[in-house]
Amino acid sequence: MTAIPRALPSLAILCQALLPVFANAAPLQGLEVEARVGAMLDNMTLQQKFEFIRVNDGRMLPQLPSQGLPGTVAYDSSMGVHVGLGTFGAQYPSQSALAATWSINRAQQFGLAIGYETRQAGAQQMLSPGLNMYRTPYNGRNAEYLSGEDPFLGAVLGPAVVNGIQAQGIQAAAKHYIANDQEANRHLLDVTVDERTLREIYMPGFESTVKNSDPASVMCAFNKINGEYGCESHHLITGVLKGEWGFRGFVMSDFNSIHHAQKAAWAGTDLDMPSALAYTDAVMYDLVYSNQVPMNVLDDKVRRNLRAMVSYGFDKGLPTPTALDTAHGDAASLAVAREGIVLLKNEGGKNGSQPVLPLPANARIAVIGDLARQAPASPFGTAWAPPNRYITEVSGLQQLNVDTANVSFISSMSLDPATAVWYQPGSTPAALQPGLKAEYFANTELSGTAAVTRVEPGVAWDFIRGTNTTAGGATAIAGFNPAAGAFSARFTGTVRPTVTGEHVFKVRADGAFRLWVNGELAIDFDGTPVAGDVVNAMSVSGKTGRLKAGALYSVKLEYRRTTGAYFPVLGGINGIQMSWASLAAPDSLAGYDAVVVAVGKNAEYEGEGSDVAFDLPEYQSDMIANVAKVNANTVVVVHGGGPSAMPWSNKVAAALLAWYPGQFGGQALAEILYGNINPSGRLPVTIGRTAASYPTAAGYGTIAQYQPSGTFADAATNPSRKTLSYSEGVFMGYRGFDKAGTAPLYPFGSGLSYTTYTYGDLKLSSSKLAAGATVEATFTLTNTGTRAGYEVAQLYVRPAAAAVSRPKQELKGFAKVFLKAGESKTVTIPVDARSLAYYAAGAGAWQVDAGSYAIRVGSSSATLPLEAKLTVAGAMQLSTGSSNPLPAPLREAVKVPAGRAY
């Protein structure tokens, strides 16, 4: 872990050191590039052309020795630069946390930092950012996407990130194009969605990124869209992306996502990666000679891939890797965490009307939850980014308290397999012996005589390393290698609770298991993987009835390992883990000034390949309610790629959404809890009261949804569920809540501060919008409180009448403004015709109807105190090619200023 510097640097100071400029920081443009690319193409054989549209040697863009091209290397991850199985530089907060900053500056800072570290690590491409939508709270990869549930938010932040990455001379890849807004059945799923919904909700982030940052590449999605795979849709790739939007970069497949080579080639997918399974010599020769793939189509692919090499100067040699410089990544990680954590609730607890936060620096604090003590989490799969150095939340609270002894971790409520306390079977209270009896069988049926019988200190097996990493030691099994093949095991022992009440037991394993507590079956998992490709060994929990403190209860775990299907890296395991904890709160919690409860999800529950439940895992909601009964000053910190169900919200004094806060999340959280930092995060998503309240609930159904109680609704490979209708249309997120008149728990755009703000004096630069014009909405924003802070002012457009069914209101502008206590500033947010438009599928254009539009301004989608009327005298149609999701001033704002690269 890392110590918090006592003198905390300001963001202004941290951003001073953005020098020197990298020699290849800006991609080359124009005739010089095209001339060099054309010369290379003219000198390539047909065989070389085939070799340049596929890659299977660990590179991204292939080698071309005849032209002196070395090929490029791409690194993945939205939360850090993957090198091997580790993280090269910083662990950043999740992109959902970045979305919660609502900050162009933080988006650019993140892009600059991760691009810089990618270059230092010796790569030329970063497979980021993710621009898919938070359509449903179930999506296992919500952590990786920076659009939240609003297309305009993604349209601003997407190009800001890409411009930051590419200013460092690193190629960005916008992904996953398109409608990859769920993980369940992602290779088989056919998403049915109408063209208007695609254009208005799911495309603007990609469109804006193409038009306002010129990304080197776009990655097409695994899933089908309206019957065609994402990488095989001529309409989406050649028609829209390359045709209407004028994208000049290359389209890469998501990993092995081309099913039919001719369809993908004709559609416009330029690079078959990473295994070259589709664009093989045999297939491509046949397609070209039969004219199913015309030569000009093949040449266009090669030209685009060459252009990516030449425009970044990679044809002249690749930049030399350098030693890691942590300054910029560390600064960006901390800055995003500070501004991304959202304070949802802050009310009086023990002190009545006085808000519980911020806590005094001498507060006695009890901390509950393993997420507060472990290294900062990241999701399973390609977003997995274990930190090299970090500050835990417990450590952050201790370091910023006047006395570290004031902060106590409550071990009795910790579900940690490495520290779980077990006693041998047959023990009596007077003669307890630590450990579990372990029997290992050389078969999968627990039959016959055990090959090895011994006492284990606990169950935290890593079969790859051959160690049982518990508090009692880390030792291999003499004469038995669990990694060698199929086997079974039985663990028997005793637990002695220290708190009377319900308890939770948790098991995570790469095979089938059953757990009995005091003779009653608590967990029964048959070992069937929940995903079909990247398979995570998810944790499963079981809840007991009332256990009595000091009494002894028997435990038996039986485990069968029959397959190696589970993914042992990127947050997964090959092994078995077991832990237990009290769900009941000890009476001693009443004596603390506050209780901080860290809950949520990590790689055990959330990530690539499968979707997640909306409910918190491990019966954490029950635990929170129990704690709140004992201590009214309960502060809940929720982790994960998105929010989870919060049925306990009205029972606790304060609640925060920390997302995955990155390596310095513990510092940022402590700074906010103690008041060193005024929270400024705002929700990029709506938090519904229940899963059923989301407008997408009916369309999603039960497709491969993981349940925290230990069951799975529909296997991921269920052939009866291969379609998913986006039946809510454009009424996704807050648009759907508004349409249904359903009040969410926390509305889109909301978030609390330790100060207060007022809005006033809204004026429009013109009451009428003419074709091609921009109207400025100007208002006064005042900090009426006693502390400095950031406010996120938001502008929504509401048509007075509509020719088609339209949302009640839509976000079309925002500004993050810093104000000292008592300070007022004049804020200007631009709107233009595209801000008022909807997509008219019949015309193939953006339509602006004549009439009146309300321009509404405020602090969230539910709090808009200012309103002005803007009129359009005559209807307008805007071209899909020439129109832009961003008004002209914002197109400039998302650009990285000259000299900012380092």
Domain ranges of the chain: 27-315, 330-415+586-740, 429-582, 757-893
Selection from 490, 497, 487 nearest residue 545 by Cα: 497
Selection from 664, 608, 616, 618 nearest residue 637 by Cα: 616
Alpha-carbon distance of 305 to 76, in angstroms, equals 19
Cis status of the peptide bond prior to 586, with omega within 30 of 0: no
pLDDT of residue 26: 55
- Any bridge partners for residue 380, and if so which? 607
Query: 474 falls in which pLDDT band (50, 70, 90)?
Result: low
Class of domain 330-415+586-740: alpha beta
Whether 356 has a pLDDT exceeding 90, the answer reads yes
Query: 471 falls in which pLDDT band (50, 70, 90)?
Result: low
Query: 472 falls in which pLDDT band (50, 70, 90)?
Result: low
Whether 17 has a pLDDT exceeding 50, the answer reads no
Over pLDDT 90: what percentage of the chain?
85
Longest dimension (CA), the chain: 89
Whether 782 has a pLDDT exceeding 80, the answer reads yes
Q: Which of these CATH numbers, 3.30.470.20, 3.30.70.980, 3.20.20.300, 1.10.3720.10, describes 27-315?
A: 3.20.20.300
The full length of the chain comes to: 902
- Identify residue 742 by its one-letter amino acid code: T
Query: 353 falls in which pLDDT band (50, 70, 90)?
Result: confident
- Any bridge partners for residue 455, and if so which? 437
DSSP 314: G
For domain 429-582, say whether CATH 3.40.390.10 is its number. Answer: no
63 burial (CB, 10 Å; 0-12 / 13-18 / 19+) is middle
- Asked, colleague to colleague, whether 27-315 and 330-415+586-740 share their fold, the answer is no
Whether 185 has a pLDDT exceeding 60, the answer reads yes
- Identify residue 575 by its one-letter amino acid code: G
Task: Please state the φ and ψ torsions of residue 83, each to the nearest 5 degrees.
Answer: -130, 110
- Identify residue 49 by its one-letter amino acid code: K
DSSP track, 631-678: -S-EEEEEESSS----TTGGGSSEEEEEES--TTHHHHHHHHHHTSS-
Selection from 115, 120, 82, 78 nearest residue 95 by Cα: 78
DSSP 679: -
Residues 565-619 pLDDT 10s: 899 999 999 999 999 999 999 999 999 999 999 999 999 999 999 888 899 999 9
Alpha-carbon distance of 90 to 330, in angstroms, equals 6
CA-CA distances (angstroms) from residue 298 to 265, 271, 285, 368, 384?
8, 11, 11, 59, 36
Residues 363-373 pLDDT 10s: 999 999 999 99
Asked whether the beta carbons of 515 and 507 are under 8 A apart, the reply is yes
Mean pLDDT to the nearest integer, 756-775: 97
Whether 15 has a pLDDT exceeding 60, the answer reads no
Alpha-carbon distance of 8 to 337, in angstroms, equals 14
pLDDT of residue 702: 57
Alpha-carbon distance of 733 to 749, in angstroms, equals 11
CATH annotation of 757-893: 2.60.40.10
3-state secondary structure 194-257: CHHHHHHHHCHHHHHHHHHHCCCEEEECCCEECCEEHHHCHHHHHHHHHHHCCCCCEEEECCCC
DSSP 306: H
CA-CA distances (angstroms) from residue 766 to 170, 667, 830?
42, 46, 11
3-state secondary structure 124-150: CEEECCECCCCCCCCCCCHHHECCCCC
Asked whether the beta carbons of 278 and 272 are under 8 A apart, the reply is yes
- Rounded to the nearest integer, the mean pLDDT of the chain is 93
Residues 187-198 pLDDT 10s: 889 999 999 999
Whether 428 has a pLDDT exceeding 90, the answer reads no
Mean pLDDT to the nearest integer, 272-287: 97
Beta strands in 319-384 (DSSP E): 342-346, 365-368
Query: 10 falls in which pLDDT band (50, 70, 90)?
Result: very low
pLDDT of residue 24: 42
Mean pLDDT to the nearest integer, 490-505: 97
Selection from 451, 523, 459, 445 nearest residue 491 by Cα: 459
Residues 699-742 pLDDT 10s: 886 544 444 343 334 333 343 468 899 999 999 999 999 999 99
